[in-house]
Amino acid sequence: MPRAGQLKPLSDSRLTDHVSVGVLTRVFPPELVDGIVAEAGRREQRQRLLPARVVVYYVLALALFADSSYEEVMRQLVEGLSWESGWRRSWQVPSKMAISKARARLGREPLELLFRAACVPVATATTQGAFYRGLRLVSVDGTCLDVADTPANEAEFGRPGSARREGGGAFPQLRMVVLAESGTHAIFDAALGPYTTSERVLADRLWGSLEQGMLCLADRGFYGFERFKTAAATGAALLWRVNSTVALPRERMLEDGSYLTHIANDNHGRARRSGLQVRVIEYQLNDPALADEEQRYRLITTLLDPEQAPAGELAKLYPQRWELESALDELKTHQRGPRVVLRSKAPDGVYQETYGYLCTHYAIRRLMHDSALQADLVPHRLSFIRSLRAARRTTRTQPGFSPLQPRPLPPTSDR
C-alpha cells in the first residue's frame, strides 16, 4: 500500500532499474556491468526473473552479507523495490535453487572482467602515505581461503596437509596472490588458483600490472632472479627482501652503508657480472620479542642512487609491505567473517565468489579513500569495520547510480 500523500506510479519498469546496491554502483555502475556482461557473452536472449546484471550485483552483495542466506541477501539487494521506486509488478524472492542456477549461468568470467576493468590504483598526489618520493607504494602478498568441502572443490583446489586429520585439512583451499596499494589497501590485481599452486607461480601473473612510477615491495618468499628481472623490466622500482642464502658479494660500498652488486641465475664469475645490478641494504632490528633469525634483514632494490633513496629511508619504508597483510585480513576476517567458508559448491562458483569479494573490498576501500581525502587523513587509518557497516546500510537504502571516477593521474610531488 502507498503511504499517505503518495500517488500510485503510472509507469512500470524492469527489475534491473531498481536494484539497490548503494556504494557498489559508484565503482561498478550499471552501464559498466552491462558492458561486461555483453563482453562475456552472458546477455539474455529472453527476459528472466534474474537478469545477468542483477546476478552480478547479487554476487557482490554476497560478499557484503557473508553471514546471510541466499534468499536474505536477495532481499537486501532489492529493498529498493519500494512503492515510490515505480515498481508495480509483484515480485517474490527467488528460491535458493533459482539463485544458484542464475549464478551458474553467469559463470565467473563477468566478475573477473569487472574486477580487472574497475579495480585500479586510487591514490592521487594528495593522498597521504601512498607515495615515497613520487613513487606509488604497492605490495605483493598471498593468502588462502577455505572453500566448501565438496568432491568437485577438492578435486580442483586440493587441501593443506594436517597432522590431526587423515587426508588433509578440514576444507579445500583456494590460493590467492594480490597486488595492492600500500597506502590505501586497494587491491588492483589478483591471481587465483588451487592450493597446490605456489605463491610464486601465481605472482608471475601479476607483474604486468606494475608500471613506471611504482615502487613494489615483496617478502623474501617471492624472490627468484628471473622473477625479479621480469618485475624490474616493467619499469617499476623494486624493494624486495631476500634470504640469507642468496649470494650478494660487496662490489662497491656506498656512503650510506649500502652497496652495489650483481644478481644472476649463475652466481659465479662472468655470469654474475653480466647480470642485473642491484643495491643491497642490510640491517638488524633490536626487538626482544622477535626471534634472532627474524631480526636480520637484507633488501635488494633497483633504486641504485643513495641520494635519491637513502638506505635508512628504505629500511623504514619496507614495513609498509605489511599493510597488505592488513588488507587481506580485512577481506578474510571482517568482510567474509572469521572461520567462514566460501559458500559455492563448485569451482566456477568459488572463483566467481572470490572475485566478488575482491570487487566489494575494493569498493569499500575506494569509499574510504575518498573520505580520507576530504578529511585530509591517511586512508588506511580509517576503520574498515565502520566503512563495511556503512556500505551495508547504503546497499539497503540507496540506489547510488553514480558514474565511475576516472583513473587518477600520476603524482606530481613527493609525499
Tell me the DSSP string of 141-205: EEEEEEB---HHHHHHH-----SSSTTS-SS-EEEEEEEEETTT--EEEEEEEETTS-HHHHHTT
Instruction: Please give the sequence-ordered ranges of beta strands (E in DSSP) within 185-275, or none if there are none.
Output: 187-194, 214-218, 237-241, 252-253, 259-263
- Give the integer Cα–Cα distance in Å for 81 and 397: 10
Cα-only R_g, the chain? 24
- Three-state SS letters, 305-333: CCCCCCHHHHHHHHHHHHHHHHHHHHHHH
Residues 6+ apart with CB under 8 A from 412: 125, 134
CB–CB of 21/61 below 8 Å?
A: yes
Spatial separation of the C-alpha atoms in residues 297 and 241, rounded to whole Å? 7
Q: What is the pLDDT of residue 206?
A: 98
Helices (H), 40-175: 52-64, 70-77, 96-106, 109-118, 151-157
Mean pLDDT by 10 residues, the chain (415 residues): 37 46 82 94 74 91 88 76 44 84 95 97 94 97 96 95 70 97 96 96 97 97 96 98 92 96 75 82 76 76 97 96 93 86 95 97 92 86 86 63 39 45
The cell numbers describing 171, all together, are 576444507
Closest residue by Cα to residue 49 from 97, 19, 96, 94: 94
Residues 6+ apart with CB under 8 A from 409: 124, 125
The helix (H) or strand (E) run that includes residue 139 is strand 135-146
Helix (H, G, I), strand (E, B) or coil at 138: strand
Q: Which residues have C-beta within 8 Å of that of residue 164, sequence separation ≥ 6?
A: none
| Cα separation values, 22 from 32, 68, 120, 350, 401, Å | 15, 18, 20, 24, 8
Segment (H or E) for 278: strand 276-284
Say if CB 335 and CB 63 are below 8 A apart.
yes
pLDDT of residue 1: 37
Say how far apart CA 239 and CA 246 lie, in whole Å.
Answer: 15
pLDDT at 47: 61
Do residues 176 and 144 touch, judged by C-beta distance below 8 A? Answer: yes
234 close to 208: Cβ distance less than 8 angstroms: yes
Per the CB < 8 A criterion, the answer to whether 227 and 216 are in contact is no
Name the β-bridge partners of 241.
299
Distances in Å between the Cα of 188 and the Cα atoms of 119, 323, 370, 414 are 5, 14, 16, 22
Closest CA to 354 of 190, 231, 140: 190
Q: Collapsing DSSP states into helix, strand and coil, what is residue 281?
A: strand
The pLDDT of residue 306 is 96
The predicted structure's pLDDT at residue 377: 86
pLDDT for the residue numbered 4 = 40
